[in-house]
Structure 1
Amino acid sequence: MATNESEAANLKTQGNLSYTKKDFDTALSCYTKALTLDPTNMTYKLNIAAVYFEQKKYEDSIKTCLDAIELGRENRADFKLIAKAFTRIANSHRKLGEYTNAKVFYEKSLSEHRVPETRAMLAEVEKIIKEEERKSYIDPVKAEEEKETGNDLFKKGDFAGALKHYTEAIRRNPEDAKLYSNRAACYTKLAAFDLGLKDCDKCLELDVTFIKGHLRRGKILHALGDHTKAMTSYENALQLDPTNSEALQGHQLALRQVHSNPEEMRKKAMGDPEVQAILGDPAMRLILEQMQTDPRALQDHLKNPEIAVKIQKLLDSGLIAIR
């Protein structure tokens, strides 16, 4: 028996060499002969399964691994080999697109021996399964039905009920920008402004031309007291529709709030690219320094039309003042 085991081991070595050279037929022949000489050693069955896997004969690989596990259990094989067989089965199921089965066998492998690589493969498969479940749940028709139900409840003032249906609509069709806008309106009514703002951002991420997203974002920011950002949202809406009454009124209201708060006015100005360019100009910085030390220098600089326009921009922005 010892001689047979030694000869089997030599055949395995030959098989491994052929395997690395991708000469799978020769490798399979060597592993099969080795198993004949040492029939209680599950390793050779695992080697045969590995060849089937490389030959894309995944069903054969699975069956051979199951046989190997049975053989290993009967002969008290190392639990690491049992785990390896389960992993190979899982890998075959994964190649076949049978992710649920793959998950089961990765878990079986980990129950025998916890290997980081196997845990990582399990996590990948779980992610695929979750994504497939999400995609299978998508149904634009049902999403529309949920949205209509939400709209009816919203009109009745049942904002919590409407929220539930808008959320289900989003699950059914997560790429529809309008649904996030609708839910943002609900969150606004429920004073959950942070969640409403998040939905507005998602809405505009999906469709930056959807004007209601900008309007609702402006309304929420105004409610949060961030009038500068509210102005920007209303300005974005006005770029899409210069005559939109809600955008015009919201912008005027936010503008009054900004001008009534010098610090916020300054914050708004500092976010203006034109102002940033003026303040970043070394020549303008020198002129502003001269104006601080010698107010009379302003009259000389205003004679230059280009500089006069820039100084006026800073005056309108509230960043400088003439005394």
Structure 2
Amino acid sequence: MADEARAKGNAAFSSGDFATAILHFSEAIDLSPTNHVLCSNRSAAYASLQNYIDALADAKKTVKLKPHWSKGYSRLGAAYYGLSQYDNAVWAYKQGLEIDPNNEPLKSGLADAQKAAADGAKAKGNAAFSSGDFATAIRHFSEAINLTPSDHVLYSNRSAAYASLRNYIDALADAEKTVKLKPHWSKGYSRLGAAHYGLS
């Protein structure tokens, strides 16, 4: 009976009728509550309706039932991402990639989550910089750099924050990294000049 409800849920999901899919998956889960695939499928259906709270609950249950199944972490990452909990999404996708390092959906999800988390950290860094809290700005820019280490703007922004604290050695290092990453970007050379001037 659980298999029949699951098949109906899969058919409804495939046709885009996610609400009906949830009903059938719920029926199947009632009959087979330890089936991780059913929880995973219902999580996907909830996420398709942008009900990320219930998607997260089912994804957590999936991972609890089958901790070494990479798809559970994909569901977990998607739910966290939908809730704008990007750091948690990064963690979930990384957990899945430890199990299945070549999984393309996990890699893609991780890249999206890292970019979103970095954008959030960058925005916090810019706000702190604008308010004159340069130490906090540096912390946020550093967090963003850890997530997206090839973004030249982050090094440029952190260089300016270091220079504002008269830490010209670190300002110079970040300016050099900026120029290395984006050699034809004039602002990088402006940061480089400011750091050299501060050290002179």
TM-score normalised over the length of structure 1: 0.42
Q: How far off its partner does 1:185 sit?
A: 6.2
Counterpart amino acid of residue 75 in structure 2: R
Q: How far off its partner does 1:97 sit?
A: 1.1
What are the Cα deviations for residues 119-178 of structure 1, in whole angstroms up to 9, with x where unaligned? Answer: 23213322332333233222135379976775xxxxxxxxxx7x44865998xxxxxx89
Q: Does 1:111 align with 2:111?
A: no
Q: Does 1:19 align with 2:13?
A: yes
Report the Cα distance in structure 1 between the residues aligned to 2:10 and 2:164, rounded to whole angstroms: 64
Are the equivalent residues in 2 in contact too, given 1:28–1:51 (CA < 8 A)? yes
| Number of aligned residue pairs | 161
**What stretches of structure 2 of length at least 5 have no aligned partner?**
135-159, 176-185
> Measured at CA, do residues 166 and 12 of structure 1 come closer, stay the same or move farther in structure 2, by a change above 3 Å?
closer
Aligned to 2:148: none
Counterpart amino acid of residue 73 in structure 2: F
- 2:16 match: secondary structure: coil
Report the Cα distance in structure 2 between the residues aligned to 1:110 and 1:87, rounded to whole angstroms: 9
> Measured at CA, do residues 125 and 28 of structure 1 come closer, stay the same or move farther in structure 2, by a change above 3 Å?
closer
Counterpart amino acid of residue 3 in structure 2: A
Aligned to 2:52: 58
Are the equivalent residues in 1 in contact too, given 2:77–2:109 (CA < 8 A)? no
What are the Cα deviations for residues 77-117 of structure 1, in whole angstroms up to 9, with x where unaligned? Answer: xx4xx311111111111111111010111111122222133
Are the equivalent residues in 1 in contact too, given 2:169–2:199 (CA < 8 A)? no
Aligned to 1:94: 81
Q: Does 1:129 align with 2:123?
A: no
What are the Cα deviations for residues 219-249 of structure 1, in whole angstroms up to 9, with x where unaligned? Answer: xxxxxxxxxxxxxxxxxxxxxxxxxxxxxxx
> Measured at CA, do residues 34 and 121 of structure 1 come closer, stay the same or move farther in structure 2, by a change above 3 Å?
same
Percent identity over paired residues: 21
Report the Cα distance in structure 2 between the residues aligned to 1:182 and 1:41, rounded to whole angstroms: 57
Counterpart amino acid of residue 129 in structure 1: A
> Measured at CA, do residues 180 and 35 of structure 1 come closer, stay the same or move farther in structure 2, by a change above 3 Å?
same
Which structure has the greater CA radius of gyration? Answer: 1
Report the Cα distance in structure 2 between the residues aligned to 1:57 and 1:51, rounded to whole angstroms: 9
Counterpart amino acid of residue 17 in structure 1: A
**What stretches of structure 1 of length at least 5 have no aligned partner?**
1-6, 74-78, 151-160, 171-176, 192-323
Larger RCO: 1 or 2 (CA < 8 Å, sep 6+)? 2
TM-score normalised over the length of structure 2: 0.64
1:48 to 34, 42, 49: 42
